[in-house]
Structure formats: structure tokens, C-alpha cells
């Protein structure tokens, strides 16, 4: 096993994070097989509306008599898939822009970084609301693209900073003096050295992206009904949460545990990949 992996798994917080992520991912992937009910099925509006947690419905039901456990499990599929795909797109775009800024010379660097600074000056939630307002209904692929293309700015600055630091090191200058092609330099020297910070940023970004997706769904501009989404489940419970606390508490706990797990994993990766460790 890799020494880095051993170093990560040695910490209690990493073990907790891995365990929580494994349970969440397993439940999401196996939801069609282990979920007790159809997540959008209205089981019994007369007798099961806002039913409290019981042996039949472990997490209770909502105001449309839908099983909350099933909806949370299917909601995990949406949240994790949207977060992972959008972070992947964000990392690819951010890395490409960061490499171009770090290796493209002063003019290219200044142009790209002013573009990034302008984008960062706009509050992200407002930017997302403005962009998503152009569509009456948001599909999952469209949401992934919008989230990914509006979240690469920090990654580009991180990659640019790492590239500028690498350019000052002796091994890089020696390779340049030897006439190594730029593509070869990027593949053999730059990307392996910036991979660590990118992995940490991506891990932390998944938790942040889950929060963003939940916030958009809470506002009604994220995942469309009746597809289960943790944020929309909380929004739909506003009028009944006083008498049916479980309708908001369990989706909120799912968001909390998922974001906390990815944050703990990101912190563990940061410590394990630190060159001073």
C-alpha cells in the first residue's frame, strides 16, 4: 500500500471520513436494490401522511406520504453525482487556465488572472441564479455544466501559483536549458508536482458543491421535481417541520454528515501530501 495512503488512514478523522463516505456512496449506488420504497411513490395520503419514524418507515414520511429513507438514499445519488462531475469539470478547466497563465508569459498571465479576478468579484450564488434563470427547467447534465463552469476560478489561481513556484526550481530550469518541449515539461514535471494541491482542492470542493446544489434546490432552481434532492426536501418541509421535525432533520443531517466527511478527508489529504510531513 502506498505510504501516503497509510499515512492518511492512520488518523482517526480520516478513518471516520472514509467510513462515512463509504456508507453514503454504498447507499447511493445500491439504492435501487436496498431502498424500501419508490422515492416518488405516494404510499397512502390518508393514513401515512407525515407518519413519524417507525419500524415500517425508519425515517418517517413526508406530507405526500413518501418514504424519507428512500428519498434520502436516492437524493444521495443526485448530490454525489452532481458534486463529483461538476468538481471534475471545474478541476479540468481550472488546471488548464492555471497552466496557461503560469506558462504563457506575462501578457497571457495578466489577461487570464484579471478575468479570474472579475469572476471572483461576483458572489457565486448570484452568478448561478442569473445563469440558471435562462432555463425554465434545469436538467442534471445542465446543472453539472453550470456548476463546473462557475467554480474553476480558485483552482486556476492555485495551479498558477504552483506553476510559478516550479519555474524557479533548479530541475525545471535545467530541463528548459536542455531544450525539453513544453508538453513534455507539463506531463513529466508540472502536473505531478501540482497533483497534490489539486486533489485536496477537489476533495474539499465536493463538500462545497453539495452545499451549493442543496442551496439551489432549496431555492427551487436546482433539481426539478419529483426527483428527490436533499435541498428540495428541506424546502418542502418548511410548512410542516414544527409538527413533523423528521421531514427537515434527516435530510439536513445527510447534508451535514456528507459535507463534514469530505472536509475531514480533505484535511487529512492536505496533511498527508504536505512535503514537510
Query: Under 8 Å CB-to-CB from 106, ≥6 apart: which residues?
Result: none
Q: Which residues contact 250 (CB under 8 A, 6 or more apart)?
A: 59, 60, 68, 69, 72
Q: What is the pLDDT of residues 138-171, one digit of tens each?
A: 888 989 999 999 999 999 999 999 898 888 888 7
- pTM of full prediction above 0.85: yes
Q: Are 269 and 201 in contact (CB under 8 A)?
A: no
pLDDT tens readout for residues 66-99: 999 999 999 999 999 999 999 999 999 999 999 9
In this predicted model, which residue has the larger pLDDT, 151 or 276? Answer: 151
Cα-based distances in Å from 245 to 27, 49, 53, 89, 185: 23, 13, 10, 37, 57
3-state secondary structure the chain: CCHHHHHHHCCHHHHHHHHHHHHHHHHHHCHHHHCCCCCCCCCCCCCCCCCCCCCCCCCCECCCCCEHHHHHHHHHHHHHHHHHHHHHHHHHHHHHHHHHHHHCCHHHHHHHHHHHHHHHCCCHHHHHHHHHCCCCCCCHHHHHHHHHHCCCHHHHHHHHHHHHHHCCCHHHHHHHHCCCCHHHHHHHHHHHHHHHHHHHHHHHHHHHHHHHHHHHHHHCCCCCCCCCCHHHHHHHCCCCCCCCCHHHHHHHHHHHHHHHHHHHHHHHHHHHCCCCC
Instruction: Enumerate domains of the chain plus CATH numbers.
Output: 3-32+61-272 (1.10.3720.10)
Q: What is the pLDDT of residues 48-64, one digit of tens each?
A: 999 999 999 999 999 99
The highest-confidence range among 23-32, 119-128, 167-176, by mean pLDDT, is: 23-32
Residue 275 pLDDT > 80, yes or no? no
Is 1 a residue whose pLDDT tops 50? no
* Mean pLDDT, the chain, whole residue set: 87
Where residue 32 falls among pLDDT bands split at 50, 70, 90? very high
Query: How do residues 96-129 score in pLDDT, each as one tens digit?
Result: 999 999 888 889 999 999 999 998 888 888 888 8
Amino acid at each position: 500500500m502506498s505510504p501516503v495512503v497509510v499515512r492518511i488512514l492512520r488518523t482517526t478523522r480520516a478513518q471516520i471520513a472514509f467510513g462515512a463516505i463509504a456508507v453514503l456512496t454504498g447507499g447511493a449506488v445500491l439504492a435501487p436494490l436496498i431502498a424500501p420504497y419508490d422515492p416518488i411513490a405516494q404510499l397512502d395520503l390518508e393514513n401515512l401522511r407525515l407518519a413519524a419514524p417507525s419500524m415500517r418507515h425508519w425515517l418517517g414520511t413526508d406530507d405526500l406520504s413518501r418514504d424519507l429513507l428512500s428519498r434520502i438514499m436516492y437524493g444521495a445519488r443526485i448530490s454525489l453525482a452532481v458534486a463529483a462531475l461538476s468538481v471534475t469539470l471545474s478541476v479540468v478547466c481550472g488546471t488548464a487556465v492555471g497552466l496557461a497563465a503560469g506558462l504563457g508569459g506575462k501578457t497571457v498571465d495578466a489577461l487570464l488572472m484579471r478575468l479570474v479576478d472579475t469572476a471572483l468579484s461576483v458572489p457565486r450564488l448570484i452568478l448561478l441564479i442569473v445563469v440558471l434563470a435562462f432555463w425554465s427547467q434545469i436538467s442534471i447534465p445542465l446543472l453539472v455544466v453550470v456548476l463546473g463552469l462557475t467554480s474553476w476560478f480558485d483552482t486556476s489561481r492555485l495551479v498558477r501559483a504552483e506553476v510559478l513556484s516550479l519555474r524557479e526550481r533548479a530541475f525545471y530550469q535545467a530541463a528548459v536549458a536542455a531544450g525539453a518541449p513544453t508538453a513534455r515539461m507539463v506531463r513529466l514535471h508540472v502536473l505531478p508536482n501540482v497533483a497534490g494541491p489539486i486533489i485536496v482542492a477537489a476533495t474539499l470542493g465536493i463538500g462545497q458543491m453539495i452545499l451549493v446544489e442543496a442551496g439551489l434546490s432549496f431555492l427551487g432552481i436546482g433539481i426539478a421535481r419529483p426527483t428527490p434532492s436533499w435541498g428540495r426536501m428541506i424546502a418542502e418541509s418548511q410548512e410542516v417541520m414544527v409538527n413533523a421535525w423528521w421531514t427537515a432533520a434527516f435530510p439536513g443531517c445527510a447534508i451535514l454528515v456528507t459535507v463534514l466527511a469530505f472536509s475531514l478527508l480533505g484535511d487529512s489529504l492536505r496533511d498527508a501530501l504536505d512535503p514537510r510531513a
